[in-house]
Structure 1
Amino acid sequence: MGRLWHSFSDLAAVQRDGELVIDRGEGVHIFDEQGRRYLDATAALWYCNVGYGRAEIAEAAAAQMRRLAAYSTFGDLANRPALELAERVAGLAPMADPMVFLTSGGSDSIDTAAKLARRYWQLVGRPDRTLFVTRERAYHGMHIAGTSLAGIEANAAGYGTFVGDVIKVAWDSAEALREAIGLAGPDRVAAFFCEPVIGAGGVFAPLEGYLREVREICRETGVLFVADEVITGFGRTGDWFASRRFDLDPDLITCAKGITSGYLPMG
């Protein structure tokens, strides 16, 4: 093992046993440096939705980089690809009159959603609504907010408290959500973060009726519903968004991964 610090790994085991170095990809297959072929059933880290080696994507990216590699969208500045992408994503999103905020990836999107939720309540004169509700088994990235929202204990252990005011409920019980909001007080809860299909926590599809019930609970109590579609977005559940498949009508959607199929980082 060289100087690469592998995420989510036993570094001692990697040091002892070595690394599996992936050299190239074609369609749904990847190849290691010895030329062995593998069916990549996880699409790398659930992101290569359109497959590897798509020459047309590489050519489009290269052409844009030659023209304008990147430019800020702060203030009144814009660039044509950002404008066009925002329109395209807004047209696909299962929301009424959505706005699109671009980020560098899924964890960044979760942090942004958490900030937007709290800021919203402050702006409408309800600054006491600061609590977030998350679920056991939940994975919402590894930035500050996502670590605080972690429903996988190992992902949060050892860091102390980054974002306080987080309540954790059972992943499969709508009644647990209702009770938690009731105990905390609906006027204190800002948002409920929910993966339509739990990903890193074990790949658990929602129980029949669960998503419909938790969405209705959020409507009844005024709690913002944040659909974390970093994994499920862009076709993974058979629709552009799982929120459409399950008729969620969320207040906020986070996405990443499949939006670029990993060819570039974006959320």
Structure 2
Amino acid sequence: MSSFWHPFAAMGAVSGNEFAVERGNGVWIYDTNGNRYLDGTASLWYCQVGHGRTEIIDAMTTQARILEAYHTFGDFSNSRIDALADRVARYSPDPASKVFFTSGGSDSVDTAAKMARHYFQITGEPERTVLITRDWAYHGMHGFGTSLAGIPGNADGYGGLVPDIVKIPFDSTNALAATIDEIGASRIAGFFCEPVIGAGGVRPAPEGYLKEARSITADAGALFIADEVITGFCRTGDWFASNRFSLQPDLLTFAKGVTSGYLPMGGVVASPRVAGPFFAEGSPMFRHGYT
């Protein structure tokens, strides 16, 4: 029996009954018996460019020989991270945005949540701490992400999590407006929204929902946070679903498709509105990051 503990698994049922994937090539994966399967989900919604892309592997190898990795805390940087940030910003809904990199999707969600709350701390509205999320939403499994979970069961069994998080029906902008009115607009930090709910059942936003939700959030002075960990990097036919649906989020999370799983990476695209105060002369440190 393997020592490996599977994520999202009841190990008593899984152990000894694994589906073992041995290799992949393009859109195909192969099990240990050589059987071939069409990888219709691109692993877990991340391998957009397909398996076994030798040009990517060669580029990774070349870069590792030059510099395999180095932290970017404080004033440390490197030419590759600067170039990648510029490229991601260029493909985002607002090319003037700034990009904060992480190690994956859950990291990106927690970063965006902390960034949203901290933004209001440094702009003089510290009472804005409430984050609104939707039923059936999946926003990763870190502290904030688990608290934001809209899938039944995903937040069970862990005791108290992050406070000031409110859930609403996934398909009702009326519920969003009513919730903001009930709590008070002056307390709302942000609204987390997957343009297409993924793990919660592949539920596209209803016609007109994103535009109306964006308007309601803006009227409240809160941040619209588009979780594009799944939809980012051409899964909906454009670089981001926000581009496809003419959405201008204040914060946008990404991961998965940015590397197609060849390396763990994610990030947050921060609009000029949000990034501005953090980049201003004399701004406080954002005490957050990943090595």
Q: TM-score range by the shorter chain?
A: over 0.9
The alignment-based identity, stated in percent, is 59
* Equivalent residue number for residue 3 of structure 1: 3
Instruction: State the distance in 2 between where 1:253 and 1:145 align.
Output: 16
1: distance between equivalents of 2:166 and 2:145?
13
Match of 1:36 in 2: 35
Name the CA distance, whole Å, in 2 between partners of 1:35 and 1:83: 42
Alignment of 1:79-98 (within 5 A): 79-95=78-94, 97-98=96-97
Cα offset, 1:161, TM superposition: 2.1
Is residue 118 of structure 1 aligned with residue 122 of structure 2? no
Higher relative contact order (CA 8 A, sep 6+): 2
TM-superposed CA distance for 1:153, in Å, is 2.1
Q: Distance in 2 between matches of 1:43 and 1:124?
A: 41
Q: Normalized against structure 2, the TM-score is what? A: 0.90
Describe the SS at the equivalent of 1:89: helix
Shift of residue 96, structure 1, vs aligned partner: 5.1
91-100 or 140-149, which deviates more: 91-100
1:192 matches 2:191:
yes
The CA deviation string for residues 84-124 of structure 1, in whole angstroms up to 9 with x for no partner, is 10011010010251001010000000000011000000111
Higher strand fraction: Structure 1 or Structure 2?
2
**What CA RMSD, in Å, does the superposition of the two structures yield over aligned residues?**
0.8
Which runs of 4 or more aligned residues in structure 1 lie more than 4 Å from their structure 2 counterparts after TM superposition?
none
Question: Which residue in the other structure is 1:136 paired with?
Answer: 135
Corresponding position of 1:176: 175
Partner of 1:12: 12
Amino acid at match of 1:33: T
| Worse-superposed segment, 256-265 or 212-221 | 212-221
Contact preservation (8 Å) 2:89, 2:95: no
Q: Distance in 2 between matches of 1:25 and 1:41?
A: 13
Partner of 1:165: 164
- Tell me the equivalent position of 1:146: 145
State the Cα deviation string for residues 192-214 of structure 1 (Å, max 9, x = none): 00000000000001111111110
Could you list the per-position Cα deviations for residues 232-265 of structure 1 after superposition, in whole angstroms to 9, with x for gaps in the alignment?
Answer: 0000000000001111100000000000000000
In structure 1, stretches of 5+ residues that fail to align are: none
Cα displacement (A) at 1:163: 0.7
Stretches of structure 2 lacking an aligned partner (at least 5 in a row):
267-291
Three-state SS of the structure 2 residue aligned to 1:153 is coil
Q: Which residue identity is paired with 1:51? A: G
